[in-house]
Amino acid sequence: MGVIEVDRARARGPRLIASRPWADTVLDDAVNALGRGYLEPAIPALVATRGEPEVRALRVEALSRAAVGLSGGIEALVRRDQVNPDLWLWLGRTRVEEAWAIKPDVRARAVQADRVRMFHQAMESAREPLSAAARLSPADPVPWTSMLWLALGLDRPRDEKDSLWQEASRRHRTLYATHYARLVTLSPGWGGTSQEMFDFARRAGAQAVGGDPLSVLLPLAYFEHIAGEGSARSRVWFSYDVQREITAAAGRWHGERGRPHPRAVEAHNAFGAAFYLADMRRPARGHLARTYGRFSTTPWSYLGDPGREYHKACSRLNVITNG
């Protein structure tokens, strides 16, 4: 599957790599090709993930974000092979990401109606290909996870979002991508409440098995909560009780045992950021050292520019990055 063993990544030493929180050479190569306008290398990268939902969810997400602006080319690929669920899934999720890229800021004093309409039309255009992917691959949870983001963008009724969550989780009970989408859905900023968001994060973390990094939903929930209250620049991010809870959550995740989870680097980013802001230097350093310079947009964007904030944290903790 092209997932790099952690010791190989460590041997190369950390480099500052933006928005690629993974250890997957196949995915790196496909994303690089998309950056040059070549779509074909992404196809085998997606086909190879059939039956591996965690890797599939990560690759679909990353390849779709890298393909923003290239959905027309993916449409041409779909026309050539209309029974390929991977292509339908990639097309649908890319349209979701393209819609998010043009979403107007509703906090602006004047948001033109045509801009809102363009966003909704772009998001709605993802429904048909995602439905086709779900129909062609009935056991695959990833189309349903992508539809959760579609429903979020279109501000669909809560019962529709709940139904999509149930469809996705029924197909894979512990899929990280589905749980993160659900966490955002339950957050106060998207129509939920802090109570149900935290209840969900704690319950998911407690039920996680093996190397599933679902306990990282807890610090992510605190980031969402703080951002929702408009206090992201507060000098005191986490109280002592919260620090203890996040420490316990990190202890429940054994991210380095056996084959690394596809989301391990992403989880180390979140735990590292949380411990850094809590001024808990030793665990912060331990987690950030395991990101190998690959920083994720979330949660660093809560602090400001993700790259700058990540580099600042690593510098203060003496975690060496070359960037």
Contact call for residues 271 and 294 (beta carbons, < 8 A)? no
**Per-residue pLDDT tens over the stretch 83-111:** 999 999 999 999 999 999 998 876 655 66
**Per-residue pLDDT tens over the stretch 247-262:** 999 999 865 556 789 9
What values do phi and psi take at 108, rounded to 5?
Answer: -65, 150
What values do phi and psi take at 122, rounded to 5?
Answer: -65, -45
Residue 294 DSSP class: E
How far, in Å, CA of 216 to CA of 251, rounded?
10
How far, in Å, CA of 295 to CA of 47, rounded?
26
Weakest mean pLDDT among 31-40, 108-117, 199-208, 296-305: 108-117
Percent of the chain surpassing pLDDT 90: 80
- Higher-pLDDT residue of 304 and 10 is 304
pLDDT confidence of residue 9: 40
Contact call for residues 68 and 94 (beta carbons, < 8 A)? yes
User: Residue 59 CB: number of other CB atoms within 10 A?
Assistant: 28
Q: Which of 296, 251, 254 is nearest to 22 (CA)?
A: 296
Q: What is the mean pLDDT of the chain?
A: 90
Q: What structural domains and CATH numbers belong to the chain?
A: 17-169 (1.25.40), 187-322 (no CATH)
